[in-house]
Structure 1
Amino acid sequence: MLLATLRLEHGALSLEETFERIPHLEVEAERIAAHSTEWTMPCMWATRAEQQRITEVFKEDPSVDDIVDATAFDDECFYQVEWSDDVETRIDAYLDTGGSILDAEATADGWQVRIRFGARDQFDTFRTVLTDWGYEFALLGLTEPNEPRHLGGQLTDAQREALTAANSYGYYEVPRAISTRELADELEMSHQNLSKLLRRATGRLIDETLTAAADTESE
């Protein structure tokens, strides 16, 4: 198994026009699916811009076919979208190489994606697809875990610390013993940053347990 982290130009995925018009925007895809275009990256968290402006630009971006849901919170906005046929075609081609998109986030510099491949030849095929279509990309990291189900190695130090603190302060108790904003104050970080760390950390744990187990069972 290979875990590859790449930076892709916006045109290789989506939202190219959006970032041309709102270059300071930051987008994080929340829901990632391994083998289905319909459920790949439809849910996103957007920050550093007003919801009205983001919604306006999303509606005019040719990569977005429809906005299914839009909800504003204190310092971030949640969107569920339907992608255009062009975006679905690109994602289909990437998934056809055998790769599983684990997470993705975008800034003005492009999309940073983490993809799991079952074998080296799948990764090579993925790079060939990008090259043949003329998309620029940069390989930021390529690892071949000796223990693919060893979860701790897949979390960053900041993510691990955020999860540990959240559990220690009773964030996951029912009812919660502490709110996200209160926990952020305890950790001396912004509510937005803590929320992002917890989402990413939880997503990675799910990827390395449920998704990995499902992939193994299907082989």
Structure 2
Amino acid sequence: MHDFLDDGDGWRTELLTWRRLPDETLVTLFRVVAPREWYLERLRTVDSIDRFETAPGDDAFYLKAYERLGGPLETFFDAFVDTEFLSVPPVVYRSGGRLSFGLIGPPNQLRDVLSAVPDPIDVTVERVGSYGGRRLAGANLTERQREALCAARRVGYYDVPRSGSVADVAEAIECSPSTAGAHLRKGEAALVDTYLDG
């Protein structure tokens, strides 16, 4: 299904909640931002999906799926079994096989969790800190856009009144002002889209 998301611009699935049943079935509720019929046609080819139900949404649709656990997916979930971590929804599946989500839990358990994640899955920790409320896990930012936004905040570009400029951002991330401006505009647009669609 990750491969399917590569077919469209901005297509994604947002895992809103889930439950692991005693019979090792994973029940999930997704919000899907992709063409419904094409998505369901592809979903029907996934062997581990036993059944699913859908409901309409405004610019997306909702999917409740029943999936048999096994392989890397089960190993991934098992990495969190004996920890105090809680996932902060949504868990966002995006193109390129990427998955974004937030966790709340004791920092001293993080290293053990990361070492238990199965080898086919690469993990990048983007931020460690105190929980500050809703995070936009689904924002589809490139690394350079994220770097530009972080630099902009550091140099005061988002202060009121503004104390930093696009040139300051460009200097911080070592690129031209026009490139820095483009990274900022695209990153800001992705954040706004994710917030308003959420």
Structure-2-length-normalised TM-score? 0.56
Asked whether 1:26 is paired with 2:12, we answer yes
- Mapped contact 1:26–1:46 kept (Cα < 8 A): yes
Q: Which residue of 1 aligns with 2:54?
A: 70
Q: Which residue of 2 aligns with 1:194?
A: 196
Asked whether 1:121 is paired with 2:123, we answer no
**Which amino acid letter does the alignment assign opposite residue 135 of structure 1?**
I
- Mapped contact 2:2–2:95 kept (Cα < 8 A): no
Q: Secondary structure at the match of 1:60?
A: coil
Q: Secondary structure at the match of 1:31?
A: strand
Q: Which residue of 1 aligns with 2:43?
A: 58
Structure-1 separation of matches of 2:8 and 2:42? 8
Q: Which residue of 2 aligns with 1:154?
A: 133
Identity fraction in percent: 7
- Mapped contact 1:97–1:126 kept (Cα < 8 A): no
C-alpha change, 1:44 and 1:121, in structure 2 (3 Å) is same
Please list, as runs of the form range in 1=range in 2, the aligned pairs for 1:2-17 lying within 5 A after superposition.
15-17=1-3
Structure-2 separation of matches of 1:16 and 1:111? 9
Q: Which runs of no fewer than 5 residues in structure 2 stay unpaired?
A: 137-191
- Mapped contact 2:4–2:42 kept (Cα < 8 A): yes
C-alpha change, 1:61 and 1:22, in structure 2 (3 Å) is farther
Larger radius of gyration: 2
Q: Which residue of 2 aligns with 1:82?
A: 66
- Mapped contact 1:68–1:82 kept (Cα < 8 A): yes
Structure-2 separation of matches of 1:67 and 1:55? 11
**Which amino acid letter does the alignment assign opposite residue 134 of structure 2?**
L
- Mapped contact 1:42–1:80 kept (Cα < 8 A): yes
Q: Deviations over 1:6-54 (max 9, x none)?
A: xxxxxxxxx434435557421111125xxx524977000011x221111
- Mapped contact 2:2–2:93 kept (Cα < 8 A): no
Q: Which residue of 1 aligns with 2:86?
A: 100
- Mapped contact 1:19–1:108 kept (Cα < 8 A): yes
- Displacement, 1:113? 1.0
Instruction: Name the structure with the higher helix share.
Output: 1
> Which stretches of structure 1, 4 residues or more, deviate above 6 A after TM superposition?
none
Structure-1 separation of matches of 2:11 and 2:44? 15
Equivalenced residue count is: 136
**Which amino acid letter does the alignment assign opposite residue 109 of structure 2?**
Q
Structure-1-length-normalised TM-score? 0.51
- Mapped contact 1:46–1:76 kept (Cα < 8 A): yes
Structure-1 separation of matches of 2:67 and 2:26? 10
